[in-house]
């Protein structure tokens, strides 16, 4: 099969022929119909993820058709249309038994723990625990966008952030996760302040329901700007980008007893990120992490997509070929882009 491969962190990837994958006894091989280009893929390419071994095929946000299944798989067969959370759970650890597959103790992640979906085929583990059916009416591009960014934003806003109608929600970083969070929070009846340095991203945020927008290039004290726009601070604020600056601004944006949810990864040379904990103590803030969403939690989100309340299809702003991935991946470090870019491995 053809796949995007990199052999050194931070060095140009290339497209080449590699062996087709084989399914594990409990897993499947999926013919990839669409896969998203996500900032997490850029983090992996840069060497920020300790689980990656070289050479490596990235890609973790996918949808497609089951090509083959292992002998122990019971719920899926070749021809089934599927997507999958980016965290593939084992189904047997204490966290999985508690329903917390998104923090599985033996999790695997395509594109990180093993070769991923920037390829014509991808192997996925523990299929009966992790696969999610994709209806015929849903395009593969839309389904692919659910697996990481949209599902991650849904859990961060609704389940971890406990958003409520009438609340102010600040979203720092309006890439795929951030725009998903804007759309979801607005659909829940919240008033959203979108923060980004890209005019295109802010325009999309307005389109998806943001009531106010802040450009840090024009308003350097982002936290103060959000507090002013929300008459005292956001009830809920998300760092959807992942940087020391956006993390601190998110915490600083909150009103008393507000809730910060960290969604974007926070790489740093020494593994630490400064957080204004004095403010967190004084205002009794909640500092929460959010890490994807388990497959069993998808039905509630899919019901809202099916009814048209949520429109993840509108987040897809471009489709590229496999050959265009290496350059697009490298560009994410300086120009993350607006909306969701989807890769068609067969295009």
Q: What is the CATH number of the domain that holds 224?
A: 3.40.50.720
Question: Do residues 177 and 211 lie in contact, with contact meaning Cβ atoms separated by under 8 Å?
Answer: no
- Residue 317, pLDDT score: 87
* Reported confidence tier of residue 268, pLDDT bands at 50, 70, 90: low
Average pLDDT over residues 241-250: 93
Q: Which residues contact 142 (CB under 8 A, 6 or more apart)?
A: 305, 312, 313, 316
- Do 82 and 198 belong to one domain? no
The number of distinct structural domains making up the chain is 2
Structural domain ending residue among the three candidates 245, 266, 289: 289
* Reported confidence tier of residue 347, pLDDT bands at 50, 70, 90: confident
- Do 135 and 201 belong to one domain? no
Cα separation, 235 vs 256, in Å, equals 8
Q: What's the domain range around 282?
A: 162-289
pLDDT tens by residue, 18-46: 999 999 999 999 999 999 998 889 999 99
User: Over the chain, what is the mean pLDDT?
Assistant: 94
- Do 297 and 280 belong to one domain? no
pLDDT tens by residue, 146-159: 878 899 999 999 99
Cα separation, 211 vs 31, in Å, equals 40
Asked whether residue 104 is domain-assigned, the answer is yes
As beta bridge partners, residue 176 has none
Asked whether residue 157 is domain-assigned, the answer is no
- Do 116 and 195 belong to one domain? no
Q: Which of 64-68, 227-231, 263-267 has the lowest mean pLDDT?
A: 263-267
- Residue 269, pLDDT score: 58
Asked whether residue 185 is domain-assigned, the answer is yes
At residue 194, what are phi and psi to the nearest 5 degrees? -100, 135
- Do 191 and 321 belong to one domain? no
pTM (two decimals): 0.91
pLDDT tens by residue, 68-118: 999 999 999 999 999 999 999 999 999 999 999 999 999 999 999 999 999
- Do 38 and 133 belong to one domain? yes
- Residue 266, pLDDT score: 82
């Amino acid at each position: 099969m053809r796949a995007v491969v990199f052999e050194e962190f931070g060095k140009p990837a290339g497209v080449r022929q590699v062996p087709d994958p084989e399914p594990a006894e409990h897993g499947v091989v999926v013919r990839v119909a669409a896969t998203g280009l996500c900032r997490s893929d850029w983090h992996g390419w840069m060497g920020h993820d300790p689980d990656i071994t070289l050479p490596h095929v990235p890609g973790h946000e996918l949808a497609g058709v089951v090509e083959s299944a292992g002998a122990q798989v019971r719920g899926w067969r070749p021809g089934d249309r599927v997507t999958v959370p980016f965290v593939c759970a084992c189904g047997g650890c204490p966290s999985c038994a508690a329903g917390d597959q998104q923090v599985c103790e033996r999790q695997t992640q395509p594109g990180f723990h093993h070769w991923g979906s920037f390829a014509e085929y991808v192997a996925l583990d523990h299929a009966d625990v992790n696969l999610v059916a994709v209806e015929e009416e849903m395009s593969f591009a839309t389904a692919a966008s659910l697996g990481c960014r949209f599902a991650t934003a849904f859990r961060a806003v609704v389940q971890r952030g406990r958003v409520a109608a009438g609340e102010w929600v600040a979203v720092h970083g309006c890439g795929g996760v951030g725009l998903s969070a804007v759309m979801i929070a607005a659909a829940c009846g919240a008033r959203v302040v979108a923060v980004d340095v890209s005019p295109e991203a802010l325009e999309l945020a307005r389109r998806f329901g943001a009531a106010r927008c802040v450009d840090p290039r024009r308003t350097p004290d982002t936290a103060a700007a959000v507090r002013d726009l929300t008459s005292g601070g956001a009830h809920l604020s998300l760092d959807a980008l992942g940087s020391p600056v956006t993390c601190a601004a998110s915490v600083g944006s909150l009103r008393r007893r507000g809730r910060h949810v960290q969604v974007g990864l926070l790489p740093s040379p020494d593994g630490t990120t400064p957080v204004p904990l004095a403010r967190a103590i004084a205002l009794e803030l909640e500092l929460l992490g959010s890490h994807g969403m388990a497959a069993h939690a998808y039905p509630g989100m899919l019901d809202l997509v099916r009814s048209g309340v949520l429109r993840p299809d509108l987040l897809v702003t471009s489709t590229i070929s496999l050959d265009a991935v290496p350059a697009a991946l490298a560009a994410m470090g300086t120009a993350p882009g607006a909306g969701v870019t989807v890769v068609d491995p067969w295009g």
